[in-house]
Structure 1
Amino acid sequence: MDNNLERDWNKLLYKISEDFNVDANLNGTLLLIGIQERGKGFQEKYSKDDKMDHINLATCTLLMKWKYYSISGKDENDWPIFKKNKMVPPFSKEKEELLLKSAIVEYFKQNEYLVTENNESLN
């Protein structure tokens, strides 16, 4: 991981840990993005399936940046329906994690939650 991404990722994890009183990690961060994107607010408890659905929502949302997915509508429960535009290449676990971390950091910068040297005017 390059130094800037590593610094921003660690800053994000620290901020999430402090703000939500949790031990932040990759899946937990994806869960938060999924909850945000779902737009139904935070619940105290989620089933394992609910957590996986939210993580999936976050992952597809993040991959829209590279046009792997687009939203084609909503289902009867108001969940986004994603259309796969192209196949995601088979990345190594490390490369996949790096891609997600980069997209997550960018997501939180764009949503004005994370302030870094490159976006000091935000938040």
Structure 2
Amino acid sequence: MENNLESDWNRLLYKISEDFNVDADLNGTLLLIGIQERGIGFKEEYSKDDKMDHINLATCMLLSRWNYYEKTGYDENNWPIFKKNKMVPPFSKEKEEQLLKSSIVEYFKKNEYLETQHTK
């Protein structure tokens, strides 16, 4: 399973790098998800605070898949509001990265950006 995740992750990074002409990495993919979930379109430049807000939005969105968070609505600036359902366990950095990568890959597959590889 871990091999499939790494293969899917590498395919995703390559596709994002090619499509957006960037060097894709974990934070970059989180930023893209946050921008997508915010739903107001892409801007050429983001402040450091804007980037962190979008990365945090993406992280909450992805962790909602595991029922750590639940989207409950939107604030006055149309940012999604999340309720914490349970505490995120203190994962090792490697485990946290694996959870995020898995969630990111599934997000892009669900949104039909990354096609599912069928193994024989």
Measure how far apart 1:116 and its partner are.
2.8
* Cα distance in 1 between the residues matched to 2:8 and 2:116: 7
State the partner residue of 1:65. Answer: 65
Shift of residue 73, structure 1, vs aligned partner: 1.4
Q: 2:70 aligns to what SS in structure 1? A: strand
| 1:28 maps to 2:43 | no
Q: What is the one-letter code of the residue matched to 1:56? A: N
Moved over 2 A (4+): none
Q: Aligned equivalents of 1:10 and 1:76: distance in 2?
A: 38
Sequence identity percentage = 81
1:12-58, Cα deviation, whole Å (9 max, x unpaired): 00000000000000000000000000000000000000000000000
Amino acid at match of 1:44: E
Structure 2, unmatched stretches of 5+, are: none
What is the count of residue pairs matched by the alignment?
A: 119
Aligned pairs for 1:1-123 within 5 A: 2-118=2-118
Structure 1 unmatched runs, 5+: none
Q: CA RMSD in A?
A: 1.3
Q: State the shift of 1:72 in Å.
A: 1.5
Distance 1:81 1:113 in 2: 25
| Superposition deviation, residue 2 in structure 1 | 1.2
TM-score in terms of structure 2 length = 0.96
